[in-house]
Amino acid sequence: MEAKDKDQIMDINSGDESAMYHVKVEPSKVSCMGTVESNWFDSVSTTKCRSDVIRSYIKTFRTHIPVLLETIVNLSDAEGNNALHYAVTYRNWKVVNVLLNTGCVDVNLVNKVRVH
């Protein structure tokens, strides 16, 4: 499927990889992704992060927006920290396990923390 004009919006859930490079995004979808990102970081960046909550998020992402699962679990904050960084920092091994079991987490991502 190809975008024939710049105003055409492609369905990212269509299975067509070229849909990931659509030209125009509906404002409501941008707002939705902002909400997903905010809720994801609110959950994963706390010392009280619960593995069952993260498992539920991942199940929901797999079901409703599977094409974005890898992007979401690898989202990083301004310091370059992602969910895996937080889980390891807080020694939350249950969350580490849930994240690794997605098969989507990039274990090679580095943050901006300087090593002394």
pLDDT at 69: 93
* Residue 94, domain member (yes or no): yes
Tokens of residue 92, six digits: 């939350």
**Cβ proximity of 30 and 38 under 8 Å:** no
* Mean pLDDT calculated for residue range 42-62: 94
* Mean pLDDT calculated for residue range 57-82: 93
* Mean pLDDT calculated for residue range 61-65: 92
* Residue 74, domain member (yes or no): yes
Q: How many CB atoms lie within 10 A of CB 76?
A: 17
* Residue 41, domain member (yes or no): yes
* Greatest C-alpha distance within the chain: 53
Distance CA 92, CA 54 (A): 12
Q: How far is CA 62 from the centre of its chain?
A: 11
pLDDT at 28: 59
* Residue 4, domain member (yes or no): no
* Residue 93, domain member (yes or no): yes
pLDDT level of residue 1 (50, 70, 90 thresholds) = very low
pLDDT at 27: 62
Residue 75's nearest CA partner among 47, 28, 36, 103 is 36
* Residue 61, domain member (yes or no): yes
Domain count, the chain: 1
pLDDT level of residue 77 (50, 70, 90 thresholds) = very high
pLDDT level of residue 110 (50, 70, 90 thresholds) = very high
* Mean pLDDT calculated for residue range 14-37: 59
Distance CA 28, CA 46 (A): 28
* Residue 19, domain member (yes or no): no
Query: Where would I find the H helices in the chain?
Result: 27-44, 51-64, 69-73, 83-89, 93-101
* Residue 14, domain member (yes or no): no
- Domain of residue 90 covers 34-102
